[in-house]
A and B are shown apart, each in its own frame.
Chain A
Amino acid sequence: MSDEERIAKDAAYWVEQINRPAVDTTQSARFDAWIGVDPRHGDAFARLQALWDSSVLEAALNDPELMVDDASTEMQVAEASPLAPRGRVWLLGGCIGIAAAIAAAVPLWLTTGAPQRLSTAKGAGASFTLADGSRVDLGPDTEIAAEYGVLSRTVTLVRGEAYFDVRHERWRPFRVASGANEVKVLGTAFNVDRQSDVSTVVEVFRGRVGLGPRNGRLVPIDKGRAGYMDGTRLTMSRIDPGQHGPEWKTGWFEASDVPLAALIDKLNRYSAKPILIRRPDLARRGITGRFRVQAVQDTLRAIEAAYGVHMRETAVNIVLE
Chain B
Amino acid sequence: MTGSLSPQPLQQAAGDVDWSGVRGAVRNYVLGRTGRHDLADDIAQETVASLIEYGRTHQIATIYGLGFRIAGKLLLKHHRAAARMSEDEIAESHASNDPLPDHMVAVRQDVALVSRILRRMPRLRREVLVRRRIRGESCATIAQALNMSTKAVEKHITRGLRDLNDALDRRDLHE
Whether chains A and B associate is: yes
Seen from chain A, the residues whose Cβ lies within 8 Å of a Cβ on chain B are 3, 6-10, 12-13, 15-16, 18, 20-21, 23, 25-26, 28-43, 45-63, 65-70, 72-73, 76, 91-92, 95, 97-99, 101-102, 105, 150-151, 169-171, 184, 186, 208-210, 212, 214-220
Residue with the highest number of chain A CB atoms closer than 10 Å, among B54, B88, B162: B162
**Measured CA separation A63–B61 after assembly (Å):** 36
Residues in A neighbouring B100, C-beta threshold 8 A: 55
Residues in A neighbouring B130, C-beta threshold 8 A: 61, 66
CB pair A12 B33 closer than 8 Å: no
Kindly list the 3 A-B residue pairs having the minimum CB-CB distance in the complex, ordered from nearest.
A50-B32, A210-B90, A42-B25
Interface members, chain B 72-122 (any A CB < 8 Å): 72-73, 88-91, 93-94, 96-100, 107, 110-111, 114-116, 118-120
A21 with B161: in contact, given A39-B21, A219-B91 (CB under 8 Å)?
no
Residues in A neighbouring B24, C-beta threshold 8 A: 39, 42-43
Given A59-B107, A66-B126, A171-B66: 11 more A-B contacts, CB < 8 Å: A12-B157, A12-B165, A25-B10, A30-B8, A46-B28, A52-B161, A76-B120, A105-B5, A105-B7, A216-B93, A220-B88
Pick the contact of B90 from A39, A99, A101, A209 — CB < 8 Å? A209
In the complex, B123 has a CB within 8 A of chain A: yes
Residues in B neighbouring A214, C-beta threshold 8 A: 136
Question: What count of chain B residues pass the 8 Å CB interface test?
Answer: 80
**Measured CA separation A105–B7 after assembly (Å):** 7
CB pair A56 B107 closer than 8 Å: yes
Residues in A neighbouring B22, C-beta threshold 8 A: 42
Secondary structure type dominating chain B contacts: helix
In the complex, 23 of the A-B residue pairs with CB atoms within 8 angstroms, ordered by the A residue number, are: A9-B162, A18-B68, A20-B138, A25-B61, A28-B62, A29-B62, A31-B64, A32-B65, A33-B4, A43-B24, A45-B64, A50-B30, A55-B96, A55-B100, A58-B96, A63-B115, A66-B130, A67-B123, A67-B127, A95-B155, A210-B90, A210-B91, A219-B91
CB pair A49 B68 closer than 8 Å: yes
What per-residue 1/0 map shows which CB atoms of B1-40 lie under 8 Å from chain A?
A: 1111111111010000010011011111111110000000
**Measured CA separation A13–B30 after assembly (Å):** 20
A3 with B21: in contact, given A26-B10, A66-B126 (CB under 8 Å)?
no
In the complex, B134 has a CB within 8 A of chain A: yes
In the complex, B151 has a CB within 8 A of chain A: yes
Pick the contact of B136 from A3, A21, A220 — CB < 8 Å? A21
Seen from chain B, the residues whose Cβ lies within 8 Å of a Cβ on chain A are 1-10, 12, 18, 21-22, 24-33, 50, 54, 58, 61-66, 68-70, 72-73, 88-91, 93-94, 96-100, 107, 110-111, 114-116, 118-120, 123, 126-127, 129-130, 133-136, 138-139, 151, 154-155, 157-159, 161-162, 164-165, 168
Using CB atoms, name the residue of chain B closest to A87: B159
CB pair A45 B136 closer than 8 Å: no
Residues in A neighbouring B68, C-beta threshold 8 A: 18, 45-46, 49
Residues in A neighbouring B26, C-beta threshold 8 A: 46
State how many angstroms separate the Cβ of A258 from the closest Cβ of chain B: 26
**Measured CA separation A3–B3 after assembly (Å):** 9
Residues in A neighbouring B54, C-beta threshold 8 A: 170-171
**Measured CA separation A1–B118 after assembly (Å):** 25
